Each structure stands twice: as structure tokens, then as C-alpha cells.
Amino acid sequence: MNPKLASLSILVLEDPGYESAWTFFKTMEEFIPELLPTKINTHEPVNKDFCLDSPEEFKKYWRTIIWFQKSRIMEGSIYIKTWRKNHTSFKIEIKLKQMKSQERLLNFFEEASKRLHSDLSVLQYPLKEEHPFRIESESDSIGWEGAILAPIRLRKFLPDLYSCQVFGKSYVDLFGMEKLLSAPAPVVKKLSKDQVYLQLSKNLEKINYEELEENRKLVKKHLGEDAFFQIEKGIDYKYKVPDFPPVIEAKETINISIG
């Protein structure tokens, strides 16, 4: 079964500033220009032209609600760090049948993770409701928002491993670079001095779900299962997590939605 919908999250420690939105969309323009928004507004109707001329274009929208419109190919959001979260999160969901090249989507995922200095990135093929071998668990509801990684939970555990992920500095410090690079997954590579890319399925266009599930179990065991949510231990168990800095309350939130 070919994946139909990809869910992508890039989580950045702290508030990277309005320039990061420009970086995100300039990287999109470079690798997957067919997914760029065409209209922008802070509310309906979405009727202002989307512009990437300079980072300053995003300054007026930063810390407000922003809506982007590009037919129905993609929808998503950007949330800045608030008092309940460790990370600023960049999230999109993409209808893969609209993609001209899924390889370029992977290239975008990797490059955007590097340019934004991602602390944790996830690219999931497909969403859980299309996953014939995925066992329904509490982690799907408490760790993910519509199958997109929820930053608030990372202080307590990693909800799971997914099709593709980039572990940044917090997780390199937690697991160790050598441990991550020696993980028993089909694709493992060092993206930067403090980022490792890990992919559970060799072929993302024709996923072998049984193989993916087996690789998921092997990698969890290799890295240490106590870092990942387990139903039998529940949400109050003391899991192995990074030493995140204290969360400072922020009064404002960005919500950039692309749809």
C-alpha cells in the first residue's frame, strides 16, 4: 500500500524568532515549491498574497494566528513555545498523491531540520488510521495531536518511533551519538555534529509494515525502552528524558495554519 498522507513535525528548542518562518518556507521553495502557500491572513477570508521576499514579511504575523491557503494539498501550523511547551513546532500534513517527488519531500525534511537546528523532527508515512499493523495505544492519543508530535509530552517521554526522525542535540545527549549511529534501522546517518537521521523503512513509497514494526521494536530496545511511552507503565512513570531547560511562561502563541 502506497502512503497517502504524510505528517511532518519539526521541533526547535526555544523561540527561534520570526526569521525561522522565512527559513522554513524558503527551504520549502527550494525543495517542494508545489506546496508553497499562495494566500495569507490572520483570519478568514484568506485573501492576502503570500510573499517570501524577505524575513520582514513574517514579522507582522509573528505571535499571531496566521492562515495560509494552497488548495487542499497541505495544511499545517507553527506554534511558538508557551509555558506548557519546551519547543517551537513547525507542522504540516501533506497529501502525497499531490507530490511531484517524495524524494524531494525527504530532502526538505532533512534540510529544514538542519537549517532550523531541530531538536526533534518526525516525518510519518502514513497516518495511524491507515496503518494496518499499528496497534492502537494510549500513546496515539496522549502523545500526538492528529498524529503530529505534541511538544508538551516530551518532558515526560517520547510517544513512539515513526517512519523517519531526526534526533537533535537534546536526544544526542540523552542516547549518545554512537548509540544513535549504531541503531538497527535500514537508514541511519549523521546530519550534523548534533543531529542524526533515522528511518525505519527502507522504501517509503511501498512500506513493508511488518518490517517497519520489527525495526521499531529493535531500535527501541537498542536505544532503551524506558525513553518511550509504554501502556503498562502509564503516563506517570518516570521515563528517561533529556535534561530540558525550565519552561518560561510566554503570553503569546503563533498558530500558522496551511490548508
By the 8 A CB rule, do 99 and 105 touch? yes
Beta bridge partners of 14: 87
Question: Per-residue pLDDT for 3 more than 60?
Answer: no
Question: Per-residue pLDDT for 248 more than 70?
Answer: no
Here the contacts of 203-211 (C-beta below 8 Å, separation 24 or greater) are 204/3, 204/102, 204/106, 204/125, 204/163, 204/164, 205/2, 205/3, 205/102, 206/1, 206/2, 207/1, 207/3, 207/125, 207/126, 207/163, 209/131, 209/132, 209/133, 209/134, 210/133
By the 8 A CB rule, do 185 and 199 touch? yes
The pLDDT, as a whole number, for residue 148 is 47
Give the pLDDT confidence of 5-55 residue by residue, as tens digits: 678 889 998 777 788 888 998 999 999 888 888 777 766 777 778 888 888
Cell 518526525, residue located: 122
The pLDDT, as a whole number, for residue 168 is 97
The pLDDT, as a whole number, for residue 143 is 40
Give the pLDDT confidence of 42-93 residue by residue, as tens digits: 667 777 788 888 888 777 766 555 556 555 555 556 655 554 567 888 888 7
13-27, 123-137, 241-255 — most confident range: 13-27
Q: In sequence order, which residues have a C-beta less than 8 Å from that of residue 48 and are 6 or more positions away?
A: 39, 40, 41
